[in-house]
Chain A
């Protein structure tokens, strides 16, 4: 797409394993946000990383940002069945614009 890609499109792992999903972008961003969407709770904000940050943590989530490669990764450690959802990155541009990617569908098998 014009704004970048997310990969993989789908990921299936066992409970307890780690899950990594990636987000690329094409033009300079102000920040990048990760959201989760499942049928129970809709779209929910997980974490924001600013363009001058390289890594952020929130509980079992770890986000990295590599501006030289124009990419970000979301790592979920010790996954649980409840982490089954689609994960989207939203690229923030020009201080007030967002573009969501097509997401990664994560399935965590119990």
Chain B
């Protein structure tokens, strides 16, 4: 079974530039999550999709971050414009139904450095 795919793996940009990350979840998984993990901290949920609808985006900085999951499959997360404090690893995860009892499967992440 193929895992969660993410690209790119690494990205370096200057502040005020824009960046986009892509995620393809495990086939058939209804729920997709985007997390931000700052060095030395745990993953922080940015947004949770159930199929192509948003379940939770309460911690997404909506003035600069946006995400979409068209057709309920793959997803993109965009930052525009980036700030220095956005330097982090962005993790995508998926789960079967989105229940809190489901295991989440994580992708390898995209390491973003903002200069």
Q: Mark A12-27, 1 if CB is under 8 A from B, else 0.
A: 0000000000000000
Query: Which residue among B40, B42, B93, B109 has the maximum number of chain A CB atoms within 10 Å of its CB?
Result: B42
Question: B106, A30: Cβ atoms under 8 Å?
Answer: no
Contacts of B98 in A (CB 8 A): 96
Do B55 and A96 have beta carbons less than 8 Å apart?
yes
Interface presence of A102 (CB below 8 A): yes
Known contacts A100-B43, A101-B42, A102-B41; A45/B104 CB under 8 A: yes
Q: Which one of A45, A48, A92, A102 has the greatest number of beta carbons of chain B within 10 Å? A: A45
Task: Give, as a whole number of angstroms, the nearest-CB distance from B75 to chain A.
Answer: 17
Q: Establish whether residues A43 and B100, one from each chain, have CB atoms under 8 Å apart when the complex forms.
A: no
Bound state CA distance, A86 and B63, in angstroms?
Answer: 32
Bound-state CA distance A70–B99 (Å) is 21
Q: Find out whether the CB atom of B100 lies under 8 angstroms from the CB atom of A31.
A: yes
Measured in the bound complex, the distance between the Cα atoms of B35 and A92 in whole Å is 15
Q: Which of A42, A48, A100 contacts B101 (CB 8 A)?
A: A48
Interface of B is mostly: loop
In the complex, which residues 57-110 of chain A have their Cβ closer than 8 Å to any Cβ of chain B? Answer: 88, 90, 92-103
Residue on A nearest B43 in the bound complex, by CB: A100
Contact in complex: A98, B101 (CB < 8 Å): no
| Assembly CA distance A42 to B48 (angstroms) | 20
Q: Which of B99, B101, B106 contacts A43 (CB 8 A)?
A: B106
Residue among B41, B104, B107, B109 making CB contact with A98, cutoff 8 Å:
B104
- What are the residues of chain B within 8 A of A99 when measuring CB–CB? 45
Given contacts A42-B106, A43-B91, A43-B106, contact A96 B100 (CB under 8 A): yes
**B interface, CB within 8 angstroms of A:** 35, 40-45, 48, 55-56, 91, 93, 98-101, 103-109
